[in-house]
Amino acid sequence: MARANFKRQGWKTPIELRAHRGGLIAFGSLATILLLVGRAELPLIDDVRMVAADASRAVLQAGSDAAGWASDGIETVSHAATLYGDNARLRAENEELLAWRAKAMEYERRIAAFESILEISYTPIAGVTTASVIADTAGPFSRAIIVNAGAQQGVRKGDAALDRFGLVGRVIAVGQASSRVLLLTDTTSHVPVLIEPAGVRAILSGDADGQALIQFVPGGVTLAEGAAIVTSGDGGVRPPGLPVGVVRARADGSAVAALYADIARVEVVALKRYEVINDVDVPPLPMPDLPLPAALPETPVASNPAPAGE
């Protein structure tokens, strides 16, 4: 009976059956150990992930291209059905937007004039890399995307990722030719934001439902529905003033951000690098123009305090 067991299970010899069982136990234990060790969230794991993403880049690129064509095709067909209605709507919208354009150009001139008077210095952009999304790992474990630009294209960890409408997330791992962008809706994403027009500071965090919650609003402040949210740049997380979304109240009383970015269907992102100039903590440079050092060594500072009122 026992002799026939391995044959009934499709093995040629009992050794094969034993080897299979041994392998199952060995690799199962290895997976369990990995799972426990991985709980520590070592930075090495991110590096290994990027190696895996770099290695699969060619297949991912081909696959996402094909998926893009397919969805474009579906979109074309479904748009054809509503062509007439869309046309009429767009004509009306276009007329309205033309009026807005004149207004916007007027404001642009005015703002430029004010800026030149006030000599405002903005956080300078060190570079922009445009990349297309080749993988979408939106799932219960992480909401992130992989884009086809990496260290070779100048992408750096911490870059802000924006789509056409607003902030999408930030770069958390960089490979040779691909990088991973953590979306604003991931539960581990926490972004300091500013809510206009009063400038209320809050933190935008992803939640389990895939929405961006507005948290840590100061007590006594009620947020207006539809108020604009921009990044605050607190903590040097990213530069201030990037468009994020608008406030939307939920039925349970909490507030979420209706993001400008189309996070579920991001296809192209702009990865922006900012040179955050922080010279506050840096010791001041010696001033070469003043001929002070010649006299200083003879009078040690500690033993020669300057008399008050001199």
Partner 1 sequence: MVVSIFSRFFRWVGGRLPFLIALIACIAAIIPLHLPGDLEMTPLYPLMVVFFWGTHRGDLMTPGPIFFTGLFYDLLSGAPPGLWALVFLTCHALALVVRDTFGRMLYSAWALFALTCVAACSLAWLLASLYAWTIADPLPFAIQALMTIGLYPFFGFAFAFVERRVVVPMRA
Note the residues at the interface with partner 1 (CB under 8 A).
8-11, 16, 20, 23-24, 26-28, 30-35, 38-39, 45, 48-49, 52-53, 56, 59-60, 63-64, 67-68, 71, 133-142, 144-146, 180, 187, 208-210, 264-265, 267
Nearest to partner 1 of 78, 303 (CB atom): 78
Region of 86 (left: φ > 0; alpha: ψ -120 to 50; beta: rest) is alpha
In whole angstroms, how close is the CB of 39 to partner 1 at the nearest point? 7
Please say whether the beta carbons of 190 and 170 come within 8 A.
no
How many Cβ atoms from other residues are within 10 Å of residue 231's Cβ? 21
Closest distance to partner 1 from the beta carbon of 205 (Å) = 14
Nearer to partner 1, 53 or 242 (CB): 53
Nearer to partner 1, 196 or 254 (CB): 254
The pair phi, psi for residue 183, each rounded to 5°, is -75, 160
Query: Closest approach of Cβ 243 to partner 1, in Å?
Result: 22
Ordered DSSP codes for 128-159: EEEEEEEEE--SSS--EEEES--GGGT--TT-
Return d(Cα 223, Cα 124) in angstroms, integer: 31
CB of 154 to partner 1, least distance (A): 23
Nearer to partner 1 by Cβ, of 182 and 204: the residue is: 182
Q: Which is nearer to partner 1, 136 or 234 (CB)?
A: 136
SS3 174: strand
| DSSP H/E element including 87 | helix 83-118
